[in-house]
Structure 1
Amino acid sequence: MPLIRQARRQGGLALLAKQQGLRLTRQRRLIYSILEAAQTHLNAKQILAEAQKFDPGIDQVTIYRNLAVLKRLRVVDELDLLHLKGDQHYYEARQVRAHSHVACLSCGKVFEFYTPAMKTIDQALEKECGFEVSFTRIEIGGYCAECRKKRGVSPASLKGHKVPRSVEPERI
């Protein structure tokens, strides 16, 4: 069973940390809470700015150190989002449902996309290869409908297209 599901079923992050021989410190809880509440992918500087609203003494080193621990616990994912902004990395609380990160190579808009086909791939891997999938991460680069329209793609071919996520896409 993937660790994130196990953590949620067995009493949460504190138990998972304890099982790994780690303490769930105030800073780790704060950083994880910020990522769980975020509507977009956050970089370390954004996490720091948000954390300092609650703990003015927290610093960048503490953020990076605790992000590393949360990644090791497999409750936080680090994303490069196709390196659209150089070597900038982003973070999100790991979600139970697998999703793709779709990034526009022109404007930098990023959104999350889910299709049941992702679960089908995981099931096929298990059935055909005996491979148990813990998580799936897919990053897709291309051009959004707005940028394609600006480049002169026929409006008829874009009819009915929309961003497949309930929150507005972010720009990185």
Structure 2
Amino acid sequence: MDTYLHLLRSKGFKLTPQRRAVIAALEACAPFPTAQDIHRHVKTQAPDVSLDTIYRNLTLLIRLGIVNQINLPGRGGGSVFEIVAGQRHHHHLICLACGQARCIDYCPIVPHELAQAKEQGFTVVSHSLEFYGYCRDCRTAI
């Protein structure tokens, strides 16, 4: 947690109790908590924290590259979150039936492909890739 707090401080952001609580909840609720999961966890220590406060802090943490948002188009839709600062770059497999997300340590994007973006005047600062399909349990149930 100290690493993430140091990143916030180094970027000029205050270490508010709410930000500390959101980061602690992300660590405690892993893997892949929803904003509602994080909110429930934070409310056990700070009952007055609103869901809007959770979303504002998640948005900031995403913008700073500390947290990744993974969109789940399957059952119920929505998003889940994970701390990525200090972790190895990875992507995800997402089941369209149950919404389960799993990490894969493979990146099919090669540097020369990113160079094409630069040639078009676009600076890539990060990327995210999700593979959608059906997990073993859901595939056999279909």
TM range (shorter): 0.7 to 0.9
Tell me if structure 2 keeps the 8 A contact 1:28–1:66: yes
Larger RCO (CA under 8 A, 6+ residues apart):
1
- When Rg is computed on C-alpha atoms for both structures, the one with the higher figure is 1
Moved over 6 A (4+): 130-133
Tell me if structure 2 keeps the 8 A contact 1:100–1:112: yes
Q: Please point out which of 133, 136, 139 is paired with 1:145.
A: 136
1:28-49: per-residue Cα shift (whole Å, max 9, x none)?
0110121123332111111110
What is the alpha-carbon root mean square deviation over aligned residues? Answer: 2.8
The residue number in structure 1 matching 2:79 is 89
C-alpha spacing 1:37/1:135, structure 2 compared with 1 (3 Å): farther
How much has 1:78 moved relative to structure 2? 1.6
Tell me if structure 2 keeps the 8 A contact 1:78–1:91: yes
Unaligned stretches of 5+ residues in structure 2: none
Q: Please point out which of 49, 59, 62 is paired with 2:50.
A: 59
The residue number in structure 2 matching 1:106 is 97
| Aligned counterparts of 1:89 and 1:53: Cα–Cα separation in 2 | 22
| Aligned counterparts of 2:130 and 2:94: Cα–Cα separation in 1 | 8
1:56-76: per-residue Cα shift (whole Å, max 9, x none)?
221212212211221222101
Tell me if structure 2 keeps the 8 A contact 1:98–1:135: no
C-alpha spacing 1:135/1:56, structure 2 compared with 1 (3 Å): same
Tell me if structure 1 keeps the 8 A contact 2:117–2:124: no
How much has 1:133 moved relative to structure 2? 6.7
| Aligned counterparts of 1:13 and 1:108: Cα–Cα separation in 2 | 27
1:113-142: per-residue Cα shift (whole Å, max 9, x none)?
223xx2x7445557x669797544211111
Q: Which letter maps to 2:56?
A: R
* Paired-residue identity, %: 30
| Aligned counterparts of 1:105 and 1:12: Cα–Cα separation in 2 | 34
Unaligned stretches of 5+ residues in structure 1: 1-7, 152-172
| Aligned counterparts of 2:135 and 2:53: Cα–Cα separation in 1 | 36
